[in-house]
Structure 1
Amino acid sequence: MASDCQAKSSWPELLGAQARVAVVTIETQNPYVDTQVVLEGTPVTKDFSCSRVRVWIDQNRIVTRVPVIG
């Protein structure tokens, strides 16, 4: 599915980064997506969207999962 989306689709280099840095990096590298910062444990929908990247963070606002389109 992510292969059908435009531009960069995964940001493994952002694992462990500050949320603010991750959001700016993702939206700069792929102008077709919007980011959603999500606290670990928060329920989310399971639908797939080429225009969304969820940035999962802990209570310290550190990225806990590799951000990917979806």
Structure 2
Amino acid sequence: CEQAMEAGGATAGVGAEKNSWPEVVGLSSEEAKKKIIQHKPDASVHVVPADSFVTMDYNTGRVRVFVDSNDKVTKAPRIG
């Protein structure tokens, strides 16, 4: 089952849930939030400055979007 992983980190297959959004890097936080909500409507999307400290707890309902001072996404948001 080594081929079950896609480049984005989501398990391949029918009904697989997306767990990261590398395609939104460079977009504004609002554009990124829209794309994330399209794939995970129940997500709690948190926009966070890139240099912020965040808790290390894992929350399957949360997606953190790290942005720079220009409100551009700096790294791929992911569930957690």
Q: TM-score range by the shorter chain?
A: 0.7 to 0.9
Q: Quick check: 1:69 aligned with 2:65?
A: no
Number of residues of Structure 1 aligned to a counterpart in Structure 2 = 67
What is the 5 A alignment of 1:3-22? Answer: 7-22=17-32
Report the TM-score when normalising by structure 2.
Answer: 0.76
Q: Quick check: 1:47 aligned with 2:57?
A: yes
For residues 2-49 of structure 1, give each alpha carbon's deviation from its aligned partner in whole angstroms, at most 9, with x where no partner exists: 87xx82111110111111100111012111311000001111100001
- Structure 2 unaligned regions, length at least 5: 1-9
Report 1 or 2 for greater relative contact order, CA contacts < 8 Å, sequence distance ≥ 6. 1
Q: Quick check: 1:58 aligned with 2:68?
A: yes
Between the aligned residues of both structures, percent identity stands at 39
Q: Aligned equivalents of 1:27 and 1:7: distance in 2?
A: 12
The structure number with the bigger radius of gyration is 2
- Structure 1 unaligned regions, length at least 5: none
Runs of 4+ with deviation above 3 angstroms = none
Report the TM-score when normalising by structure 1.
Answer: 0.86
